[in-house]
Amino acid sequence: MSIEIAYNDAPLGHEIRGVDLSEDMDDATFAEIEATYDRYGTIVLRDQRLTPDRQLAFSRRFGPLDRYVLERYNHKKWPEIFVISNIIGDDGEPIGMSDAGRYWHTDMWLTHNPPRGSILYALEIPQENGEPLGDTYFASTGAAYDALPNTLKVRLDTTKAAFSKRQYAEFRARTNKEIDRPSGQASQQALKDLGDEDIIHDIVRVHPRTGRKCLYLCEGVVSHLIGWDKAESDSMIAFLERHVTDPQFVYRHRWRVGDLVMWDNCACLHKATGDFELPLRRHMHRTTLSSARPSA
Ligand SMILES: [Fe+2]
């Protein structure tokens, strides 16, 4: 079986058609899907009907999975599924994380070895007047790197950046209007529990599977470029934050129930929008692909 790819105008977010993930898939088809994912950094499969077991089975074909670091948001029965949801449970708390990722970021930049990527499956999507709410934006970090002048590429290639948890906490407190909601408080506490030392990452990451160079940063999180003059570092961080999310590099995903979207944590940044609230419900299951190599 050969997949069909419906390309959009952005450098990522293309749709793979003709694949039913609820059925067993041959190795050749899977290899095409994986190659498309690696190449573009964000792919979309629509009209799926997945149980948690089927989502896990598909996810595991990419290699080992990571459990999300905030354990309270992991599914009780399938703990490798991270629940993103604003539905209130019997205990009066949201049953999943309801305020996840409303800034440009890659997942788990707080760790030294972030996961390869994530697979997000939509079970319930809020709607208003027939239009979906809660879009997710994806920006191609490879296309953004390619568009830089050569002299800047050479300089950034050897630059390391300090990712500041303290600055992130301040950024969230400033920008997240829902910070006083229960899940917001839980997230803040969990963030504190992770410590406050800076995490050092290369500002340019070489994609481990394609070799493509990609910018690596998150909005409001990079405090300084190591070894750079402070003023120059500040202005470069501001420039790169604007540059990497320039509309020419961005795909906007408008969700439908049954969508499965996969993103690569090196090849793109993503950002959720929070333009909905209860009684409009949003409920999703995410699996996280480990950066560890599959065992032979
Ligand atoms: Fe995220």
- What pLDDT, on a 0 to 100 scale, did the predictor assign at position 189? 61
HSE-up (13 A, CA, CB side) for residue 209 = 19
CA of 107 to the centre of ligand 1 (A): 5
CA of 267 to the centre of ligand 1 (A): 13
Cis peptide before 279, with omega less than 30 degrees from 0? yes
Tokens of 290: 């480990």
31 domain residue, yes or no:
yes
pLDDT (tens digit per residue) in 170-198: 877 776 654 344 445 555 666 666 677 89
Segments of the chain scoring below 50 in pLDDT? 178-183, 294-296
CA of 79 to the centre of ligand 1 (A): 18
CA of 194 to the centre of ligand 1 (A): 17
84 domain residue, yes or no:
yes
126 domain residue, yes or no:
yes
CA of 187 to the centre of ligand 1 (A): 13
CA of 9 to the centre of ligand 1 (A): 23
- What pLDDT, on a 0 to 100 scale, did the predictor assign at position 1? 57
pTM (predicted TM-score)? 0.92
CA of 221 to the centre of ligand 1 (A): 14
Is the CB of residue 107 less than 8 Å from the CB of residue 196? no
CA of 108 to the centre of ligand 1 (A): 8
295 domain residue, yes or no:
no
Give me the CATH number covering residue 14.
Answer: 3.60.130.10
Edge-first strand order for the sheet with 199-202 is: 199-202, 160-163, 222-225
Tokens of 133: 């709410």
182 domain residue, yes or no:
yes
CA of 272 to the centre of ligand 1 (A): 8
Residue with tokens 């191609």: 140
Alpha helices, DSSP H, located in the chain: 27-40, 52-60, 141-146, 150-157, 165-175, 182-193, 230-244
- Residue 6: alpha-carbon gap to chain centroid: 22
Per-residue burial over 80-104, b = 16 or more CB atoms within 10 Å of its CB, e = otherwise: bbbbbbbeeeeeeebbbbbbbbbbb
CA of 103 to the centre of ligand 1 (A): 9
Between helix 165-175 and helix 182-193 the angle, nearest 10°, is 170
pLDDT (tens digit per residue) in 190-224: 666 667 789 999 999 999 999 999 999 999 999 99
296 domain residue, yes or no:
no
CA of 261 to the centre of ligand 1 (A): 12
Is the CB of residue 284 less than 8 Å from the CB of residue 120? yes
Range of 212's domain? 4-289
Structural domains counted in the chain: 1
DSSP conformation class of 293: P
Rounded to whole angstroms, how far apart are CA atoms 76 and 193? 22
CA of 229 to the centre of ligand 1 (A): 31
- What pLDDT, on a 0 to 100 scale, did the predictor assign at position 113? 86
294 domain residue, yes or no:
no
